Amino acid sequence: MLTLRRIGRAGLAEVRVKLEGLNPGGSVKDRPARAIIESALADGQLTPDKTLLDASSGNTGIAYAMLCAELGIRCEICIPASANVERKRVLRSYGATLVVTDPLEGSDGAICEARRRAVEHPERYFYADQYNNGNNVRAHYDTTGVEIWEQTAGRVTHFVAALGTSGTFVGAGRRLREHSPGIRLIAVQPDSPFHGIEGVKHMATAIVPGIYDPSLPDEVVTVRTEEAQAMARRLAREEGLLCGVSGGANVVAALRAAAGLDRDALVVTILPDGGERYLSEPWWEEGP
């Protein structure tokens, strides 16, 4: 976890970012993927003769594929055609089978395809279903939330995280609220259904994950794709932090929150992955 030193204005509360791109599979999704697989192996849902199946915009699929390669388990990922080339190449490098779905349907289209396959061939698949699997939330409750509390020595006053599966926000948020009932939990989503913030859902128009708890956030804020992309560029050029566009969105929201706080407050957010998985994207060359 690092404090942002250059981005922001004088008088802002401190903003810290948790660098989840340093996980072995390169993203925050290593945490739920591991918890889901370990639980399925323990209760017999996932066996050597079954294929792990799920929908993913990229990062959870990569985490599954990495872990399945280690375990000798087949892995099949339904992924929108709009997912960038880096993610698809990493998935294939780990030996995953890709089922490419309609780009116009986004992650929801991938979810529908994974569900269809699981229903038609239950003998073939273990359907991990990250959007509805309670182990997703549990992973962040047991690890992410604990680490944030310990790494800030209990000083965290605001937690900001984007909503994709919502596992990070719900799991870490619940744990932090147990430690500090007065903490402010701020959820982040795109400002429109058609956006370029990979892995993040516009909840009003998307299939809402079953693990999402709408009563948990104190506030839900929206971020434009262009704002998130610009912030990702700034983080690289001004802080030396190469992150993805969802990390940019999180920092935009975190800085907004910090602007209205005194200097004793501490805002924590997540950089879910590294920017290496986005280098083919043209927005890196845009703007300042």
Catalytic site includes residue 201: no
Torsion of CA 227, 242, 80, 133, to 10 degrees: -100
What are the φ and ψ backbone dihedral angles of 11, each rounded to 5 degrees?
A: 95, -10
**Distance between CA atoms of 42 and 115, rounded to whole angstroms?**
23
Both tokens of 118, joined, read: 């699981």
For residue 186, which of 107, 257, 244, 122 has the smallest C-alpha distance? Answer: 257
Which residues are within 8 A (CB) of 14 and not within 5 positions of it... i.e. 6 or more apart? 3, 258, 263, 265, 266, 267
**Distance between CA atoms of 249 and 142, rounded to whole angstroms?**
25
Active-site residue, selected from the candidate residues 27, 56, 166, 246 = 246
What are the φ and ψ backbone dihedral angles of 15, each rounded to 5 degrees?
A: -120, 125
Both tokens of 219, joined, read: 């506030």
- Grouping H, G, I as helix, E, B as strand and the rest as coil, residue 246 is helix
**Distance between CA atoms of 31 and 35, rounded to whole angstroms?**
6
Say if residue 9 is exposed, middle or buried (CB neighbours under 10 Å; 0-12, 13-18, 19+): exposed
Say if residue 87 is exposed, middle or buried (CB neighbours under 10 Å; 0-12, 13-18, 19+): buried
- CB-CB contact of 15 with 251 (8 Å): yes
Catalytic site includes residue 57: no
Active-site residue, selected from the candidate residues 29, 88, 166, 201 = 29
List active site positions.
Answer: 29, 246
